[in-house]
Structure formats: C-alpha cells, structure tokens
C-alpha cells in the first residue's frame, strides 16, 4: 500500500488534484486501502474522488451543439 500512497502523492503534486491520472491513482489507493481493511479511509478517499470527478466533468466546456449535445451535427 505504500506504493499506492506514493503514486497518489506524486501524481497530485505533478499533475494536480483534479487531473484524470491523479483521480485514477486516488481510486487505486482506495482499492488498496479497502484490501488492507481500512474501510473508513477508503470510503473517504472514494467520496473525495467522486466529488472531484463530478466537478471536473461539469466544469468542462460542452462539445458539439449549443444545447450541450455531443452530436457532431446540430439541428437549428
């Protein structure tokens, strides 16, 4: 589990807390914590990761149509 903690800390420091790679390593850390029996910390890590993923997804500009559709062509 030390490796998972180190990978997460490095990713957070290098890429930032909301970068997709950091979020993936955060999830991997939560999995390691659960496997080690630290369910409370794993849950806290998962909740933070979900919150960050949701926030980073809603903050992205929409592609495609003005109505937010991801289609490549828009009906006017």
Question: What is the pLDDT at residue 57?
Answer: 75
Question: What is the pLDDT at residue 31?
Answer: 96
The distance between the two most distant Cα atoms of the chain, rounded to a whole number of Å, is 55
Domain boundaries, the chain: 2-59
Let me know the angle formed at the C-alpha of 61 by 59 and 63, rounded to the nearest 5 degrees: 140
| Local confidence pLDDT in tens for the 76 residues of the chain | 799 999 999 999 999 999 999 999 999 999 999 999 999 999 999 999 999 999 977 765 545 555 555 545 545 4
**3-state class of 47 per DSSP?**
helix
Cα–Cα distance, 56 to 18 (Å, whole number) = 7
Q: What's the predicted TM-score (pTM) here?
A: 0.71
Question: What is the pLDDT at residue 50?
Answer: 96
């Amino acid at each position: 589990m030390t490796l998972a903690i180190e990978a997460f800390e490095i990713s957070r420091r290098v890429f930032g807390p909301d970068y997709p790679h950091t979020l993936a390593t955060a999830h991997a850390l939560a999995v390691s914590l659960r496997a080690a029996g630290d369910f409370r910390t794993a849950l806290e890590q998962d909740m933070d990761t979900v919150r960050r993923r949701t926030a980073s997804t809603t903050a992205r500009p929409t592609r495609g149509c003005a109505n937010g559709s991801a289609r490549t062509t828009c009906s006017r």
